[in-house]
């Protein structure tokens, strides 16, 4: 898992495994993420079960990668 920070917030994000949602995560929230098999990302929010599937473009708009390798 890698780390990223929320830099913009939007509306309600749908999470899967298990299905739920997160409403406007606060800017500055640190999340974990990993690359998914389809080339996008799985974003995990602290204290929330499940993850938000996201493409690379969406990820770059809403998150700042903290693991610059």
- Span 20-40, pLDDT tens digits: 998 889 999 999 999 999 889
pTM: 0.88
Q: Are 65 and 35 in contact (CB under 8 A)?
A: no
The alpha helices in 1-69, defined as continuous H runs, are: 56-62
Q: What is the mean pLDDT of residues 54-61?
A: 93
Strands (E), the chain: 2-6, 12-15, 20-23, 30-35, 41-44, 52-54, 63-65
State whether residue 62 is helix, strand or coil. Answer: helix
Q: Are 40 and 34 in contact (CB under 8 A)?
A: no
Can you give the pLDDT at residue 69?
Answer: 54
Return mean pLDDT, the chain. Answer: 91
């Amino acid at each position: 898992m890698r780390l990223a920070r929320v830099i913009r917030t939007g509306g309600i994000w749908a999470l899967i495994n298990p299905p739920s949602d997160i409403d406007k995560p606060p800017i500055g929230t640190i999340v974990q993420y990993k690359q998914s098999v389809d080339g996008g990302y799985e974003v995990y929010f602290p204290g929330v079960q499940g993850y938000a599937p996201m493409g690379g473009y969406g990820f770059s708009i809403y998150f700042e990668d903290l693991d610059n390798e």
